[in-house]
Amino acid sequence: MDLLRDYLLRFRPPSRGYLLSAPRSRALGPATFNAGAYTCLGSAYRAAFLRAFPDATGRTTDISRVSSHSGRKSLSQWLWDAYSSQRLIADVGHWRCRKDAVQIYFHTSRATILRCIAGL
CB 66 within 8 A of CB 56: no
Q: Whole-angstrom Cα distance, residue 14 to residue 3?
A: 18
Per-residue pLDDT reduced to its tens digit, 47-94: 888 888 887 766 555 677 677 676 777 788 889 999 999 889 988 888
Q: Residue 70: what pLDDT?
A: 66
Q: Residue 77: what pLDDT?
A: 85
User: What one-character DSSP code corresponds to residue 17?
Assistant: S
CB 89 within 8 A of CB 76: yes
Q: Length of the chain, please?
A: 120
SS3 25: coil
| Of 42, 44, 12, the residue nearest 28 (C-alpha) | 12
CB 22 within 8 A of CB 38: yes
SS3 74: helix
Per-residue pLDDT reduced to its tens digit, 92-101: 888 877 767 7
Q: Whole-angstrom Cα distance, residue 23 to residue 30?
A: 9
Q: What is the pTM of this model?
A: 0.49
Q: Whole-angstrom Cα distance, residue 83 to residue 77?
A: 10
